[in-house]
Amino acid sequence: MSGRTLNFIGAGLIVASVLAGCTPAEDIPASVSVAQAAPDFELDDLAGKKVRLSDFKGKVVLVDFWATYCLPCHEAIPELQALQDKFRDKGLEVVGISVDAYTGHVPEFVAEHGMKYAVVLDPDQSTAKSYGFSQLPTTFLIGRDGKIIRKWLGYDNAIGEEIRTQVAASLG
């Protein structure tokens, strides 16, 4: 990780955002790996409707853990939206899991960034803890069988290209 840090002031909080990858409020050791069943979750979407990973059974799901204060997360959003647009008809669902502790500004952020894929809220980071990651964004590709195909830490153009390749391969 880079030693360069930015300070972001929002909702009265100062949050450190490391340019090489943002660290969530709690550093969490890795606990899930490729070929394991992805932990199910039940989280509220922006309208307050419960969303579960199991709702997407039989689909390929790209689960992206992100936060509004995370600059690399911002870079990933257009790529994730493009993937959703391109592959939705082939069975891809993108689910963005916001780990922001304060969720009041998330709907405005989602609208401003044109996020049309599913966005759910994990303010206590309980789902993040069950997936066990140590930086934001962290993205998981989950196969139609519910098992983790691939995990990416951080985001840059090379990761974006690899995600595109893996998604296309998973959808046939």
CATH code for position 159: 3.40.30.10
10 occurs within a structural domain: no
Q: Which of the four pLDDT bands, split at 50, 70 and 90, describes residue 1?
A: very low
Quote the percentage of the chain above a pLDDT of 90: 63
Residue 11 lies in a domain: no
**Through-space distance between the first and last CA atoms of the chain, rounded to whole angstroms:** 35
Flag whether 1 is in a domain.
no
Residue ranges of alpha helices (H) inside 8-133 are: 71-87, 106-112, 126-131
Quick check: is 13 in a domain?
no
* Helix residue spans in 17-120 (DSSP H): 71-87, 106-112
Q: Stretch 71-79: mean pLDDT, rounded?
A: 94
Q: Report whether pLDDT(10) > 60.
A: no
Residue 108 pLDDT: 97
**Predicted pLDDT at 31:** 61
161 pLDDT tier (thresholds 50, 70, 90): confident
Q: Is residue 15 part of a domain?
A: no
Give the global pTM. 0.82
Q: What is the pLDDT of residues 83-139, one digit of tens each?
A: 999 999 999 999 999 999 999 999 999 999 999 999 999 999 999 999 988 789 999
Is pLDDT of 12 > 70? Answer: no
How far is residue 25's CA from residue 135's CA, in Å, rounded to a whole number? 10
Q: Which domain holds residue 38?
A: 21-171
What domain count does the chain have?
Answer: 1
Tokens of 100: 């922001």
Query: Residue 28 pLDDT more than 60?
Result: no
How large is the average pLDDT for residues 145-156?
Answer: 91
